[in-house]
Structure 1
Amino acid sequence: MITHVVFFKLKDRSPESIQVTKQVLTNLEGKIDELRHIEVGTDILHQDRSYDIALITKFDSLDDLKAYDVHPLHEEVKKHMKTVLDGTSVCVDFES
């Protein structure tokens, strides 16, 4: 299993903006065959060093992660993220 973890910091860190983007990410659930698990969490500390949203996804293989990355629904999410991100996201991919 491959676990893909991404942290996002948004330009607009208001609760409303964070919830909109959380919903955009959560909407992927059940719509991409390769995506075995998705969890989206929002930060509760709200410190300067905090990221606003954490995304945890799981895939059966690295090939499935690669297929997810170019899936049309994920491409739409990436377009949204480019408009709301404050800089770049950070991620870690590991075998689990």
Structure 2
Amino acid sequence: MITHIVLFKLKDRSPESIARTAAVLRDMEGKIDVLRHLEVGTDVLHSERSYDIALYTKFDSMDALQAYQVHPVHKLVIEHMLSVRESSVSVDYES
């Protein structure tokens, strides 16, 4: 399995903006066949170093992760994220 985690810091850090963007991420569930697990969480600490949203996903293989990256549903999510995010960091590892 490959675990893919992305943390997002948004330009607009209001609760409404965070909830709207978390919903966009959650909307991928069930629409991308190679996506084995999807979890989206929003930060509860709100410290200066906090990111606003965490995306936690799992895939069967690196090939599946690559297929996810170019999937039309994911590409729409990327468009949204590019417009709302201030920054992001990610990690991918075998699990």
Q: TM-score normalised by the shorter chain: which range applies? A: over 0.9
Give CA-to-partner distance per residue, 1:14-67, whole Å, 9 cap, x none: 000000000000000010000000000000010111000000000000000000
Aligned mates of 2:43, 2:32 — CA distance in 1: 26
Aligned mates of 1:64, 1:32 — CA distance in 2: 10
For residues 56-75 of structure 1, the aligned pairs below 5 Å read 56-75=56-75
**Per residue, is there more strand in 1 or in 2?**
2
For residues 1-96 of structure 1, the aligned pairs below 5 Å read 1-86=1-86, 88-96=87-95
Give CA-to-partner distance per residue, 1:50-86, whole Å, 9 cap, x none: 0000000000000000000000000000000000011
Aligned residue pairs, count: 95
Aligned mates of 1:31, 1:48 — CA distance in 2: 34
Aligned mates of 2:77, 2:26 — CA distance in 1: 10
Q: Extract unaligned runs of 5+ from structure 1.
A: none
Output the aligned Cα RMSD.
0.4
**TM-score (normalizing by structure 2):** 0.99
Secondary structure of 1:32's aligned partner? coil
**TM-score (normalizing by structure 1):** 0.98
Please list every run of at least 4 consecutive aligned residues from structure 1 whose deviation after the TM superposition is greater than 2 angstroms. Answer: none
Percent of residue pairs identical: 67
